[in-house]
Structure 1
Amino acid sequence: MVDIANRVHNHNWKIDPIVRSLIDNDFYKLLMCQSVFRNRPDTQVTFSLINRSKQIRLTELIDEGELREQLDHVRSLRLTRGESTWMRGNTFYGQRQMFRPDFMEWFENLRLPPYHLEKRDGQYELTFEGPWPEVMLWEIPALAVLMELRSRAVLKDMGYFELQVLYARAMARVWEKVERLRQLDGLRLADFGTRRRHSYLWQEWCVQALVEGLGPAFIGTSNCRIALRRDLEAIGTNAHELPMVHAALARTDEELAEAPYRVLADWHEEHSGNLRIILPDTFGTEGFLKRAPEWLTGWTGVRVDSGDPATGAETAIRWWQAHGEDPREKLIIFSDGLDVDRIETLHAQFRGRVKVSFGWGTLLTNDFRGLAPGDGLAPFSLVCKAVAADGRPTVKLSDNPNKAMGPEAEIERYKRVFGVGAQEALEVVV
């Protein structure tokens, strides 16, 4: 077991770089990257860092030189032979050779493209531009770098004893959560905490705690490097990025309305089984399901990632029932802002009605609330999103208007095209 406090106290980033590998990334990014490589390799995309928690002034916490050093390190990474062997030969979701030879040859030679960094109004403007398959792989590393540099900034003046106590308290907090969760009969839970983790070492510790504490109820991790190192299942399917970019490329309202379904048609050709999970909330869940083609009702499940999670799940259940599908044979994955209380409530409400799984993120791998002076380690909402495709702005509506993004005029157009009416605004914690 790594002595995290000692490593933090004696930090040398050349020993502990924030991002350690090109597969220190979420599994869904690699799956989506292969799909983009196949279907839209020449699309030019811009990703941008967005800090929703404006009160966290990152330029006052994080040294620009350290940030550039870490980002430059990410650009130096290459896929290792062992990592390539794992991707080429491992079984994912019951399927061997998930990653095709042409994609693997490209990935083995990949170097992430340059970044652009500026300071503005207390925040870092960090952008990445270039071919979609290359640029999209910056999202998770960029977030991990910013989050861990913030953690390091808060911890840098603490002594070894103080750090030992802080991490002991954080470990006790995680274990108390584990003890509650293992009381839930039939629980299925995965680690989704890479993007806003406290640190790589802490995420790995949390995963080890779940392995020991939950046993078979812990089904895997989204982090590919940790999955490889710990011989765990790599977990993940697809994200909002795909429909956002495809929608931005639409030239008419009619093409726009069809864009989310064209994305899933491509996915349908490429994947089967538990990889056929619908993420319906990009432009509003209710409208998406109302207009969805019949073949989508046969997919394995739905991921609920914004808005009130119980409402989203009930909407999916009604949709399946209306189309003659048995919800008890379907899977609902909850993944938005989860912590133990919400997991317990949703598990009790939906177990037996559907198959239920949880993707536990920031409040697993970055719950240091109240443990540092001034609550300086409290998690905050930092994202890195595709903001343009071939020069056209992207839009995300979400089921929570506080998560909406894009130019105001385009947001209104998308609401009209997708029939989105009044929405309940919910606090975005993480």
Structure 2
Amino acid sequence: MNVNLAERAHNHNWKLDPIVRSLLDTDFYKLLMLQFIWRNFADVHVTSETTNRTAQVRLAEHIPAAALVEQMEHVRQLRFRKSELIWLAGNTFYGTRSIFEPAFLDWLEHGFRLSDYEVVEHDGQLVMCFSGLWTEVTMWEIYGLALMSEMKTRAALGRLSELELDVLYARAKTRLWDKIEKLRRVPGVRISEFGTRRRHSFLWQEYVVQAMRAGLGESMSGTSNTYLAYKHDLEAMGTNAHELPMALAALANSDEELHASQYRVLELWQKSYGGELLVMLPDTFGTTQFLQGAPDWVADWTGQRCDSKDPFVTGDEYIAWLMSRGRDARRKRLIASDGLDVDEIIALHEYFSGRIRFSAGWGTLLTNDFRECHPRGEHDFDPISLVCKVMTVEGRPAVKLSDNAHKATGPEKEIERYRRVFGSVAVEGAAVVV
């Protein structure tokens, strides 16, 4: 907690202070998904690439492509440390010990590698493109997004004087404390830090996690950042993401297989993890159609994460669906994780209190909220919406429909086909901010 952020920012030397300093510096769900892919789809080839949905911020004008490549090459040279693998092997995650099997951990130590990549400039943006075995490509997502986000930050920091850096971080710390103070007055609120992919910087994320832990105590459930969980003895949080249903859908050989793929991925996940880690993410092709067509056993899963639909609406929908299937919603978990900030977290907690076990996955607006903190009133530190999505699977296009049409990805003709197969209506949701 005694890190002088302004001084470190003023004296950045990337070889001493790299952006990604450990292969554990990723969301915990990526490791769980990697083991799932390694076990079930080891020979599948994919491509993925990054997109800056905040198109007015022209990243190529702020980040030298050569400097980005240098950082990426540093990441490719990293290896899992013996102490990190021992921690993964021996730690208890979600109350379960030995969630990572010995053969997988041995592969992490001796066989894991990151795929080849290409950095291209297009219309003022830098785009990272990855291609190779799915096991080699998938981990690039968080590393790549964290690199791009922090390089944008470092470019802006380099334009400030030492005094201005002091002012910037003083304002950001005050804002963080104000948020913590609001949450401290809310009994029973549960927060997990989900901000790795679009963080201001690694050092700031670490500061935020420590401040949240000190200020909120047990209300701070943990962090999705595996390295910070390892380093600071916190719970590592996360299960799976849209990438899995997108890939299995792309592998389907008929419309019938395509529609069934959203449940097949849950079957495989449940089998792979022995009935643990059962939090579903049903919005890949539309939440409503997913719930309407779900087999009854899906209602036995632990809970649901909502990521692209109004969380008040989707929470009510999930509770009503559980009741229609004869399940007690009060024993289930609802996790909101889309662009949350403190006031919405408190409102959601109060709205669902006593109805379902609500918790918040707090991301960008926790670890990168420097809005209005710039000492000259500029917007250089405002967060942007960076994503990295799977594009093809065995040469076939991958599609995400989402509950928010702004978040749909894939070729337009395939999106139309998927909407027909899934019966999912395009809903013009909220503008994507983060």
Query: Which blocks of at least 5 consecutive residues in structure 1 are unaligned?
Result: none
1:199 offset after TM fit, Å? 0.3
| 8 Å Cα contact 1:327-1:354 kept in structure 2 | yes
Equivalent position of 1:413 in the other structure: 417
In 2: Cα distance, 1:288 partner to 1:312 partner? 12
| 8 Å Cα contact 2:189-2:346 kept in structure 1 | no
- Mapping of 1:18-417 within 5 angstroms? 18-109=19-110, 110-271=112-273, 275-372=277-374, 373=376, 374-417=378-421
In 1: Cα distance, 2:49 partner to 2:425 partner? 28
Q: Deviations over 1:337-378 (max 9, x none)?
A: 000111011111111110001100000000001122421110
In 1: Cα distance, 2:203 partner to 2:149 partner? 13
In 1: Cα distance, 2:240 partner to 2:367 partner? 21
Percent sequence identity is: 54
| 8 Å Cα contact 1:4-1:202 kept in structure 2 | yes
SS of residue in 2 equivalent to 1:128 = strand
In 1: Cα distance, 2:77 partner to 2:348 partner? 43
Letter in 2 for 1:198: H
> Is residue 14 from structure 1 mapped to residue 18 from structure 2 by the alignment?
no
| 8 Å Cα contact 1:77-1:111 kept in structure 2 | no
Q: Deviations over 1:71-99 (max 9, x none)?
A: 11010100011111111111111111111
In 1: Cα distance, 2:27 partner to 2:146 partner? 11
Equivalent position of 2:431 in the other structure: 427
Letter in 1 for 2:409: M
| 8 Å Cα contact 1:401-1:423 kept in structure 2 | yes
Cα RMSD after superposing both structures: 1.0
In 2: Cα distance, 1:186 partner to 1:173 partner? 22
1:251 offset after TM fit, Å? 1.2
In 2: Cα distance, 1:338 partner to 1:395 partner? 25
SS of residue in 2 equivalent to 1:275 = coil
| 8 Å Cα contact 2:405-2:426 kept in structure 1 | no
| 8 Å Cα contact 1:43-1:390 kept in structure 2 | yes
In 2: Cα distance, 1:274 partner to 1:153 partner? 43
| 8 Å Cα contact 1:26-1:224 kept in structure 2 | yes
Letter in 2 for 1:64: A
1:195 offset after TM fit, Å? 0.4
In 2: Cα distance, 1:364 partner to 1:34 partner? 29
SS of residue in 1 equivalent to 2:139 = helix
| 8 Å Cα contact 1:36-1:133 kept in structure 2 | yes
The TM-score, its normalising length taken from structure 2, stands at 0.98
| 8 Å Cα contact 1:307-1:424 kept in structure 2 | no
Equivalent position of 2:6 in the other structure: 5
Higher mean C-alpha deviation, range 203-212 or range 113-122: 113-122
Higher mean C-alpha deviation, range 375-384 or range 156-165: 156-165
Q: Deviations over 1:310-352 (max 9, x none)?
A: 1111110111000000111110001010001110111111111
Number of corresponding residues: 430
1:272 offset after TM fit, Å? 5.5
Q: Deviations over 1:255-298 (max 9, x none)?
A: 00011111000111123676100100000000000000111101
The TM-score, its normalising length taken from structure 1, stands at 0.99
Q: Deviations over 1:160-183 (max 9, x none)?
A: 221111101101100100000111
1:114 offset after TM fit, Å? 1.8
In 1: Cα distance, 2:236 partner to 2:209 partner? 12
Letter in 2 for 1:170: A
| 8 Å Cα contact 1:243-1:282 kept in structure 2 | yes
Query: Which blocks of at least 5 consecutive residues in structure 2 are unaligned?
Result: none
| 8 Å Cα contact 2:306-2:336 kept in structure 1 | yes
Q: Deviations over 1:158-211 (max 9, x none)?
A: 122211111011011001000001111111110000000000000000000110
